[in-house]
């Protein structure tokens, strides 16, 4: 039963989002975890936001339980199969969400808690509902996906400034090719559930072109941090090399015979880029 609740919270999504939270926290604090108070803020940020994200994922599973039954990838989720009751799932989501926000309010700051709540609301009430009617829901959902890096940054600075805005934009730009890749290799699943993703509405070629545009924007965002003096050159060189490889992988899609196989490679490349970006961002203030 515990495993069912754990899976319901989509731990992969939670951990992936916390990666950028931790990176931004270390970037903003310059790895300044040298006191017990600093560790309290760090742990409250990670666990508090993690619980808020998990809560949003459970609410998402509750709302999507009907379409989950139609997709091969999601048909065995606990709410789709009836393994867990709707009432227990909603209670679980509410409790962990409130605990998460309480941790952020009590031990971090109100700004970070507010940003986390906005991300929660966008994911649950905007993205989850709109994805049934419009392909633009992916762009809307990217707002919530860009919130974790903001929470990590504002947990240290307690302000929304130009750096916060740039980090937010970078994560928006990273998410779009990542999500488009998923939509491409899960094409049949989304078609079965009648979810209007971009590949379903416009086809693989248009989706690939738009993905490449976002990769260019991602590279520009990465560049801006260094040009404006907020990150070192090693960060810039390493992340830009990763972006170039990502772009090259994207161009392969135009000649791909098996779109699904290429899209999976494109997807995994995006994960590598995220890992590289998070690692280099965390030390961007420490190296030349």
Domain boundary among 159, 194, 228: 159
Long-range contact set of residues 119-127: C-beta below 8 Å, sequence gap at least 24:
119/52, 119/53, 119/56, 119/143, 119/144, 119/147, 119/148, 119/151, 120/52, 120/53, 120/55, 120/56, 120/144, 122/147, 123/56, 123/60, 124/56, 124/59, 124/60, 124/63
Question: How many domains are contained in the chain?
Answer: 2
Same domain for 4 and 105?
yes
CATH number for the domain including 78?
Answer: 1.10.357.140
Q: pLDDT digit string (tens) for 47-83?
A: 999 999 999 999 999 998 989 898 888 888 888 888 8
Range of the domain at 31: 1-159
Count of Cβ atoms closer than 10 Å to residue 231 Cβ: 24
Same domain for 5 and 148?
yes
Q: What is the phi/psi pair of residue 70, to 5°? A: -95, -10
Q: pLDDT digit string (tens) for 100-119?
A: 999 999 999 999 999 999 99
Could you tell me what percentage of the chain is helix, strand and coil, using 3-state DSSP and rounding each to the nearest 5? Answer: 80, 0, 20
Residue 17 tokens read as 């989002």
Same domain for 91 and 2?
yes
Whether the CB-CB separation of 53 and 8 falls below 8 Å is answered with no
Domain boundary among 124, 159, 194: 159
Mean pLDDT of 208-228: 97
What pLDDT shows up at residue 70?
A: 87
Q: pTM value?
A: 0.95
Same domain for 150 and 205?
no
């Amino acid at each position: 039963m515990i495993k069912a609740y754990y899976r319901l919270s989509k731990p992969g999504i939670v951990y992936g989002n916390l990666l950028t939270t931790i990176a931004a926290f270390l970037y903003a604090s310059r790895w300044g975890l040298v006191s017990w108070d600093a560790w309290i803020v760090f742990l409250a940020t990670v666990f508090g936001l993690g619980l808020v994200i998990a809560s949003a994922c459970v609410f998402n599973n509750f709302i999507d339980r009907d379409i989950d039954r139609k997709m091969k990838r999601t048909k065995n989720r606990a709410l789709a199969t009836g393994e867990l009751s709707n009432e227990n799932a909603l209670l679980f989501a509410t409790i962990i969400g409130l605990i998460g926000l309480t941790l952020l309010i009590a031990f971090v700051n109100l700004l970070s808690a507010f940003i986390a709540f906005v991300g929660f609301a966008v994911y649950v009430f905007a993205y989850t509902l709109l994805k049934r009617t419009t392909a633009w829901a992916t762009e809307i959902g990217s707002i919530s996906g860009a919130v974790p890096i903001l929470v990590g940054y504002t947990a240290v600075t307690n302000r929304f400034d130009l750096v916060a805005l740039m980090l937010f934009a970078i994560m928006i730009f990273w998410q779009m090719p990542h999500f488009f890749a998923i939509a491409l290799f899960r094409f049949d699943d989304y078609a079965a559930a009648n979810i209007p993703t971009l590949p379903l509405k416009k086809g693989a070629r248009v989706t690939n072109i738009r993905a490449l545009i976002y990769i260019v924007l991602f590279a520009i965002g990465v560049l801006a941090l260094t040009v404006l003096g907020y990150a070192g050159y090693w960060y810039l060189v390493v992340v830009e090399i990763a972006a170039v490889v990502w772009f090259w992988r994207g161009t392969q899609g135009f000649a791909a015979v098996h779109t699904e196989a290429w899209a999976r490679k494109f997807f995994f490349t995006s994960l590598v880029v995220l890992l590289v970006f998070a690692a280099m961002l965390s030390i961007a203030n420490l190296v030349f």
